[in-house]
Amino acid sequence: MSLDARTQGLLLQFLLSCFVFLSSIEEGSAGITSSFIRSEWPSVDIPLENEAFAVPKGYNAPQQVHITQGDYEGKAVLISWVTADEPGSNKVQYGKSENKYQYTAEGRMTNYTFYKYKSGYIHHCLIEGLEYSTKYYYRIGSGDSSREFWFETPPKVEPDASYKFGIIGDLGQTYNSLSTLEHYMQSEAQTVLFVGDLSYADRYQYNDVGLRWDTWGRFVERSAAYQPWIWCAGNHEIDYFPYMGEVVPFRSYLYRYPTPYLASKSSSPMWYAIRRASAHIIVLSSYSPFVKYTPQWVWLKEELERVDREKTPWLIVLMHAPIYSSNEAHYMEGESIRAAFESWFLHYKVDLVFAGHVHAYERSYRFSNVNYNITSGNRYPVADKSAPVYITVGDGGNQEGLAARFIDPQPEYSAFREASYGHSTLEIQNRTHAFYHWNRNDDGKKVPTDSFVLRNQYWGSNGRRRKLKKHYLRSVVDGTAK
């Protein structure tokens, strides 16, 4: 039996298209642009007098209480708060049982003026030498106006320590911000990795800029007083207002939200690193110099050398402007930092890069664009097993609203994208596995939407897995396995 040429041609085409279809599933390269359309709540800031910003009762009561990691390893906590009426005490009393405060630490006070706004008295107190995996209670303020909080220290830095991080970006202080924050607090995550653009106070003018930093401090206290928020700066942290006579970028957030940068040998609070449980977290500044020879470049080069994947298998980078984003908003603003650092991310096998800035959600496949150079013309990102997964979570819910327009067609590197509000969680199980979730804020309801199982870039590779198995079997034989 013989088929005519035309039928043969069609058959061949059919077989070929089946092959292409199957292989694209294998590579997982068919990205999804979510069809979810949010019935937009107005993205307006909550009014000043709303209870979300309530000032705690009592004369000079501490307000805007928040904590962050205070050292490199997770055995210190930096506690910050503001008093409005007078400087008051710089002391923190703390201990391991409620109402029993065995220890006292003394902090320092700072304040600033911005235009005619005078900040309250801003206190920072470092408490050190804490035990791992321990709940501590702390008290600040004095007499009837004192307030009590608690936090839990992370487990010791070791490769199989499990830990749950939350990732929030571009939060602001709208009703959407409030519901995102409430959803995050239901997640039972233990530490927030905040990818920049905190309060959006810089959208205001004159004295209102400072006032909106104060409301934001009271707004996030419900979470930030009880667990560390790891701060990364965004463009809304620049505070540059020539028309108000503020002609030097001011960075008022640094008075309020200090970071433990000296512990990682950094020269600036805007870029630094911490180790927490089984993760090494590197915080970069998209709005500070990062080209070759600048302090941030030199520091990052050295910090990447200090990463010890035998102790901290998970290598996570935070920055504000995303490198791989296919949203029309802020298109290619991350390209210069990509050119500076992407080859290092591949070489050191970074697991995840979280960014904000674009007010939508997007997750990439493992892709790289290091082949691109200005003479080769190889300008398309390619699948690359050494590359991190890039995740944009600039969807906290601030007053600028959503970035709803994605570029069509969806580029190959883009795995999932959706223009709505939400937050992410990263649940590290052990050195090889982590579970990742993005939770859409669906008109006020929390809906798990995008998720995947992450294999560690260092321990997940076949060679090391085999080595790990052998090691594990040997310890079973030795009777040393738990």
Q: Which positions lie near Fe ion, rule CB under 5 A? A: 197, 234-235, 357
Cα-atom radius of gyration of the chain, to the nearest Å?
A: 24
Listed in sequence order, the residues at least 6 apart from 50 whose beta carbon sits closer than 8 Å to its beta carbon are none
Give the helix/strand (H/E) hosting 211: helix 207-224
Stated as kind and residue range, the H or E segment containing 8 is helix 5-27
Q: Is 466 in the site for ligand NAG (CB under 6 A)?
A: no
433 is an interface residue for ligand NAG by CB under 6 A: yes
- Choice between 109 and 185, CB closer to ligand NAG: 109
Distances in whole angstroms, Cα of residue 61 to Cα of each of 97, 142, 225, 267? 23, 8, 14, 34
Q: Residue 90 binds which entry of Fe ion, ligand NAG, none, with Cβ cut-offs from 5 to 8 Å by kind?
A: none
DSSP per-residue string spanning 431-449: SSEEEEEEEEEETTEEEEE
Residues of span 109-168 touching ligand NAG by CB under 6 A: 111-113, 118
Cβ proximity to ligand NAG, 35 vs 376, nearer residue:
376
Distance of CA 341 to the CA centre of its chain: 18
Q: In what order do the strands lie in the sheet with 361-364?
A: 32-33, 414-418, 361-364, 389-393, 352-355, 314-318, 279-283, 272-276
**Contact partner, 113, from ligand NAG, Fe ion, none, Cβ < 5-8 Å per class:** ligand NAG
- Name the catalytic one among 124, 183, 236, 330: 330
Q: Is 461 in the site for ligand NAG (CB under 6 A)?
A: no
Q: Is 96 an interacting residue with respect to ligand NAG (CB under 6 A)?
A: no
Residues with Cβ within 8 Å of 7's Cβ and at least 6 positions away in sequence, in order, are none
Least distance (Å) between residue 296 CB and ligand NAG: 23
Instruction: Show Cβ contacts of residue 202 under 8 Å, excluding neighbours closer than 6 positions.
Output: 209, 236, 238, 239, 241
Report which of 214, 257, 234 is spatially closest to residue 117, judged by C-alpha positions. Answer: 214
Selected binder of ligand NAG within 430, 444, 447, 464 (CB under 6 A): 430
Q: Is 429 in the site for ligand NAG (CB under 6 A)?
A: yes
Q: Can you tell me the distance from the alpha carbon of 356 to that of 391, in angstroms, rounded to the nearest whole number?
A: 8
Tell me whether residue 235 or residue 369 sits nearer to Fe ion (CB atom). Answer: 235
Residue showing the smallest CB distance to ligand NAG in the complex: 376
Residue from 13, 24, 97, 373 that binds ligand NAG (CB under 6 A)?
373
Residue 330 is a catalytic residue: yes
Least Cβ distance, residue 382 to ligand NAG (angstroms):
11
Q: Which is nearer to ligand NAG, 205 or 378 (CB)?
A: 378
Residue ranges binding ligand NAG (CB under 6 A): 87, 111-113, 118, 371, 373, 375-376, 378, 429-430, 432-433
Catalytic sites, residue numbers = 330
